[in-house]
Structure 1
Amino acid sequence: MQVGNVTTPFGRRPMTLALVKRQFTTAEIKSGKTADKWKVFRDASQARALLGIQDRGLAVLDALLTLVLQACPEIMMYRPGGAVSSWRDLMAAAVVVRSMLGVGPSAYQDACEVMGPENAAATIACILERAGHINSAGGYLRDLTAKAPQGEFSLGPMLMALMRANGGSGRLAS
């Protein structure tokens, strides 16, 4: 194995030929091609022992769940015991909240298909937080779903705005 030092944004680092080859392969991917990060996360979680992935490697995506729950603590009331400890719990709570907010099944299904089920559930949690300021939760979700493929909607800014509105209180009760 040949190794050389290269300068990266993080300083000089050793780089193997395999890493250089991977970079060239990545550069050949056509623009517009996407991957569903949550499907990758679920698959990696299920196969972590086989792939040799440590828990630490999956912690970043789990940290996003914590951020969603800090920004949107109201969603936790819709799970038995008020505990949302996984993305699956959040998605189950979102289904309950969806019907409570008057969001039709087809609007939620479309959001799940376009954004992915985890992002759709987090979006429902955000809508719940601001329900008093939204006239039509179903219409709002449909609008966000239509904007998502063009990159006009991203969950991150919505979560950050809720964190600021909540005073960054981190009212997480888990």
Structure 2
Amino acid sequence: MTEDGGRRGRHETEEERADRMWGELIQEVRVAQTGVQILFGFLLTVVFQPKYDRLSHSDQVIYIVTVVLGACATGALVGPVSLHRLVSGFRVKPRAVRLASRMTFVGLLLLLATMTSALLLILRVATHAGFVPYLVAAVVAWYLLCWYALPLWARRRHPVRPGDRAPDLPPGGPGPGRRQGRT
């Protein structure tokens, strides 16, 4: 609702909007959670394989970094579930949705880093070739295009009208990492 009590956009109250956005966010998080949990589970088994002891020190460091990134990504992407459970019934859903959205964004960044380091490790072990960093860079560029560049391009191409701006955004428009009005 606007300050004068009127409705805007989809004609939702602040609570209705928060409920809708929460549902959308949880659906999005389910996709990312599944991917990060499968990757993290796989990573946890690698250290118990006989070949792990034969990895170079550099590859073992990459592995450890990858596991830690995977653990952090899992925490950030499961975080919204815990947040919802702990604040449910306290009438803070709009704030909880904003916080959960930020945790999800951080979780996706950590998932990107986890996937990058896992790909680097796997390709280094599988090929021992000098082109591996370039191949990993190309894949990371693809992720960045799909996950960030295209969505940001779409957001800029189809801006929200000033009256439809989300209440938590500054008057100049969204900054880095902020949601657009109609999500």
Q: Same fold (TM over 0.5)?
A: no
Normalising by the residue count of structure 1, what TM-score does the alignment of the two structures yield? Answer: 0.23
More strand by share: 1
More helix by share: 2
Larger radius of gyration: 2
Normalising by the residue count of structure 2, what TM-score does the alignment of the two structures yield? Answer: 0.22
